[in-house]
């Protein structure tokens, strides 16, 4: 049903290109400020493609914090069809969002000078109300590849309220105010897309696919630029908007949030038996290299080459992230992790044990 409705919405895209449509120019102009994101290798339950919003002429991009951002061979396609590599600059779990940066292949390359949304200005003058008519642009279902235009959907803001949602057993890390929409916008690949108004002004960021925790139905929502999250920085809680996060992050001034429940210890006190691949870069993907025999991981059925995606509902962006998350737990605790094996996502429970004596 979701696919059928999405195809119907795609039909609106084709008709929106007619000269009689007063908003075709608005959608086309917004499309020039969006990119199609791709990672290496896909697997069921976690797509290897998505959407991003260009927020600087140099090629900084705001998007959702999707799992494929920790993969290899990260690349994007600009609206004119150019294919370029990118790197992850910042991931902020409290917003479930990320800032990316285009990597110029040559040192002497000319400045990109891309069309972009001024995130600071858009956040400052944002005015969106229940009942407003908006447009959602994204690369849902990977319909667009090189220079094809992104999918455009017409929607209405039906409500503005707190997000309470989950994916499987895992709750969304962000619980701030969102724009609830009356169109099925949050499809595979749509995360990171843009919500704009009739004037083409940026209103918000399309989130990932989640279900409502109370109704167990799919949620169609976007995070407005003025939505707020409480960030714990060096023991002090500060409140930032999504626009402020994006602006500071692309300037290199963002300090990633610290989770207050993490114990101040030199290392984890609980034992899993997982040995990850060597840490060769700062954000080494959490691939399992080896499993200790008779360990919790071995008893649970974990195997080498498994990629850890979630740890008790928290996204695992790197081997360091896994280690930091493990600090929260003690021997005897039961945790659930979700791993990629082949082309599938699998949830596995672990009974943590005391660290073995060396």
How far is residue 216's CA from residue 167's CA, in Å, rounded to a whole number?
10
**Cα–chain center distance at 299:** 32
Is residue 205 located within the same domain as residue 342? no
Is residue 99 located within the same domain as residue 11? yes
Query: What are 166-218's pLDDT values in tens digits?
Result: 665 556 777 789 999 999 999 999 999 999 999 999 999 999 988 776 666 78
The residues pairing with 349 across neighbouring beta strands, listed in sequence order, are 336
Give the domain CATH number at 341.
2.30.42.10
Looking at the domain assignment, is residue 243 inside a domain? no
Structure confidence at residue 108 (pLDDT): 61
What share of the chain in percent tops pLDDT 70? 83
Is residue 182 located within the same domain as residue 321? no
Looking at the domain assignment, is residue 242 inside a domain? no
Last residue of some domain: 177, 210, 228?
228
Structure confidence at residue 317 (pLDDT): 77
Give the domain CATH number at 45.
2.40.10.120
In degrees, rounded to 5, the angle at the alpha carbon of residue 204 between the alpha carbons of residues 20 and 152 is 30
Domain membership of residue 296 as a residue range = 270-354
Query: What are 100-112's pLDDT values in tens digits?
Result: 999 987 766 667 8
Looking at the domain assignment, is residue 9 inside a domain? yes
Q: How confident is the model at residue 68 (pLDDT cuts 50, 70, 90)?
A: confident
Is residue 107 located within the same domain as residue 166? yes
Burial state string for 151-177 with b = 16 or more CB within 10 A and e = fewer than 16: bbbbbebeebeebebebeebbbebebb
CB-facing half-sphere around the CA of 47: CA atoms within 13 A: 21
Q: How confident is the model at residue 43 (pLDDT cuts 50, 70, 90)?
A: very low
Query: What are 12-25's pLDDT values in tens digits?
Result: 444 444 445 678 99
* Contact present, 155 and 202 (Cβ < 8 Å): no
How far is residue 15's CA from residue 175's CA, in Å, rounded to a whole number?
36
């Amino acid at each position: 049903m979701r696919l059928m409705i999405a195809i119907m919405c795609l039909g609106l895209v084709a008709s929106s290109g007619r000269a009689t449509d007063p908003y075709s120019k608005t959608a086309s102009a917004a499309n020039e400020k969006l990119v199609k994101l791709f990672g290496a290798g896909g697997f069921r339950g976690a797509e290897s493609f998505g959407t991003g919003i260009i927020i600087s002429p140099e090629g900084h991009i705001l998007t959702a914090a999707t799992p494929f951002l920790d993969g290899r061979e990260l690349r994007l396609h600009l609206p004119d069809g150019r294919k370029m590599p990118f790197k992850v600059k910042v991931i902020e779990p409290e917003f479930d969002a990320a800032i990316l940066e285009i990597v110029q292949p040559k040192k002497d390359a000319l400045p990109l000078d891309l069309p972009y949304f001024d995130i600071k200005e858009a956040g400052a003058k944002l005015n969106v109300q229940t009942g407003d008519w908006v447009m959602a642009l994204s690369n849902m279902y990977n319909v667009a590849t090189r220079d094809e235009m992104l999918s455009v959907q017409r929607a209405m803001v039906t409500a503005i309220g707190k997000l309470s949602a989950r994916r499987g057993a895992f709750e969304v890390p962000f619980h701030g105010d969102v724009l609830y929409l009356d169109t099925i916008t949050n499809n595979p690949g749509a995360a990171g897309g843009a919500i704009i108004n009739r004037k083409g002004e940026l209103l918000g960021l399309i989130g990932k696919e989640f279900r409502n925790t109370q109704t167990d139905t799919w949620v169609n929502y976007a995070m407005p630029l003025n939505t707020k999250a409480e960030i714990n920085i060096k023991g002090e809680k500060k409140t930032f908007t999504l626009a402020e996060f994006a602006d500071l992050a692309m300037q290199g001034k963002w300090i990633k949030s610290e989770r207050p429940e993490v114990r101040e210890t030199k290392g984890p006190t609980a034992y899993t038996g997982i040995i990850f691949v060597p840490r060769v870069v700062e954000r080494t993907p959490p691939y399992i290299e080896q499993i200790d025999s008779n360990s919790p991981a071995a008893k649970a059925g974990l195997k080498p080459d498994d990629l850890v995606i979630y740890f008790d509902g928290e996204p695992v962006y790197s081997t360091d992230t896994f280690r930091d998350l493990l600090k929260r737990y003690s021997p005897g605790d039961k945790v659930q992790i979700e791993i990629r094996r082949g082309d599938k996502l699998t949830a596995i429970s672990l009974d943590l044990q005391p660290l073995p004596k060396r």
